[in-house]
Amino acid sequence: MSDSQSIRRTLELTIPAPEVEEETERVVESIRKRVQLPGFRPGKVPAGIVRRRYQEEIRHDVLERLIPKYLFKRTEEEGLNVVGTPNVTDVHFSPGEPLRFKAEFEVAPEIELKQYKDLPVPYQDPEVSEADIDQRIEELREQKAEYVNVDPRPIAAGDHAVVALESVSGITGPPIKQDELTLHIGGEDTLPGFSEALTGLSPGDEKEFDVTYPEDYAQPRLAGKTVRFRARVKGIRRKELPEVNDEFARDLGDYQNLDELREAVRKAIFAERQYVAQEEAKNKLVDALVDAHDFPVPEAYIERQIEAQVERRLQLLAAEGVDPRSVRLDWQKLKESQRDKAIREVKATLLLHKIADAEGIHATQDEVDREVQRLARQTREPVAAVRMRLEKEGALGRIAARIRTEKTLSFLFDHARKTAE
């Protein structure tokens, strides 16, 4: 038996004629109560006439009521965990006879857990050097920088040019328009085309020029495009950075001196790097689990995961201001390309659920409440309002499931055997 066959089931069911007739009578009676025919008072149409005139509706309603009911009862009796919607075929439904039909469906796979504790995984706590701390403090200086206007003169490298910018042609969708944009001439974050076009201009000057965006530019509608812009220089500013001393430290927060600030920065960098390193280790543990467990995955799960992946792709495009309908994508090929990834993700989810069950890992009410409170702070809404919205959207269950997964991943990491790279 192949993997796919091991999770496929076919049941042939027969519903006794008396029960079919009882349900048929109930359907006929419900139709009688609402139909109105000439010559009869409401609710008084003879059952025989209803049966003749509404044969198709009666058939549909009887099947809709009986098939799910009896199929559910049978799968419960046999202990089958049905996945997706069963495919019902070979329906035999005639007056006075038993109702017979065939149902084909997938069931959740039986997973026999192999070793998941003491798994080897490369991991070492990160190191933080003095140079790392210096770099972060330099970033803090940049955040506290002040930009001072300078007297009108031609723009030169290193200046911060203030311009009104508008796209003229070269892109689809709404034009790019900013009334006051500051560009660091020659800076790493400024495309060379802008620096070259603006160098030498003075406040009050206007110019049209082309800028070619890299093929890998973050915004798809600009990637690889040559866009024509119209710019007017409004001013030039010089950046002034604060000195790094005790006063600078106190200005940043509850620090008495520069040494306290440096220690806080060291701890922050360590925590950030530790989180990234632990997430990488957890991903490797999950990959090892998936590789070690060979079991079939129901097609319904795969399709659902692929749909979720495609939906995330569409949401990213929309967030960047791109209408997905304007992007020429072969959606079928896109879905096919996501299949292997989807299978691994589904396997990972099923394995983590199995481990959570085995170890009694679950999300507590306090943990869910704290997450709701965090979301309320993030959106600046009352906690009660956020909770009500999440309940209405059915999101509280998803939050609990995510917390359970995170706790299971932490369990795997805590019980793993950490090795050097």
pLDDT digits 0-9 by tens, 94-110: 988 999 999 999 999 99
On whether residue 135 sits in a domain, the answer given is no
Does position 5 have pLDDT exceeding 60, yes or no? no
On whether residue 414 sits in a domain, the answer given is yes
What residues make up the domain containing 154? 146-240
On whether residue 122 sits in a domain, the answer given is no
Specify the length of the chain in residues.
421
220 and 159 co-located in one domain: yes
Number of domains in the chain: 3
On whether residue 257 sits in a domain, the answer given is no
Are 224 and 213 spatial neighbours (Cβ–Cβ below 8 Å)?
yes
On whether residue 61 sits in a domain, the answer given is yes
On whether residue 199 sits in a domain, the answer given is yes
308 and 358 co-located in one domain: yes
199 and 65 co-located in one domain: no
| Among candidate residues 219, 240, 261, the one where a domain is terminated | 240
DSSP 118: S
CATH classification at residue 193: 3.10.50.40
Query: What does the angle CA 145 – CA 146 – CA 152 come to, to the nearest 5 degrees?
Result: 135
On whether residue 140 sits in a domain, the answer given is no
Instruction: Give φ, ψ of 13 to 5 degrees.
Output: -120, 150
Q: What percent of the chain has pLDDT over 90?
A: 77
36 and 85 co-located in one domain: yes
297 and 392 co-located in one domain: yes
Whether the full predicted model's pTM is greater than 0.85, yes or no, is no
- Bigger pLDDT: 50 vs 407: 407
What confidence tens digit (pLDDT) does each residue in 52-94 have?
Answer: 888 999 999 999 999 999 999 999 999 999 998 999 999 999 9
Residue ranges with strand state E in 120-194: 120-122, 146-149, 160-169, 177-184
Alpha-carbon dihedral angle through residues 32, 37, 42, 45, given to the nearest 10 degrees: -50
36 and 84 co-located in one domain: yes
Nearest to 105 by CA among 87, 80, 78, 79: 87
| pLDDT at residue 420 in the model | 82
| pLDDT at residue 202 in the model | 96
324 and 395 co-located in one domain: yes
- Residue type for position 381: E
| pLDDT at residue 25 in the model | 92
| Among candidate residues 54, 87, 107, the one where a domain is terminated | 107
336 and 206 co-located in one domain: no
289 and 414 co-located in one domain: yes
CATH classification at residue 393: 1.10.3120.10
| pLDDT at residue 247 in the model | 95
179 and 290 co-located in one domain: no
On whether residue 391 sits in a domain, the answer given is yes
298 and 389 co-located in one domain: yes
What confidence tens digit (pLDDT) does each residue in 300-327 have?
Answer: 999 999 888 888 877 877 777 777 666 6
91 and 24 co-located in one domain: yes
Nearest to 62 by CA among 19, 32, 10, 102: 19
Question: Torsion-angle region of residue 411: left (phi > 0), alpha (psi -120 to 50) or beta?
Answer: alpha
Nearest to 161 by CA among 134, 216, 211, 199: 199
CATH classification at residue 101: 3.30.70.1050
DSSP 382: -
Q: How confident is the model at residue 35 (pLDDT cuts 50, 70, 90)?
A: confident
| pLDDT at residue 11 in the model | 95
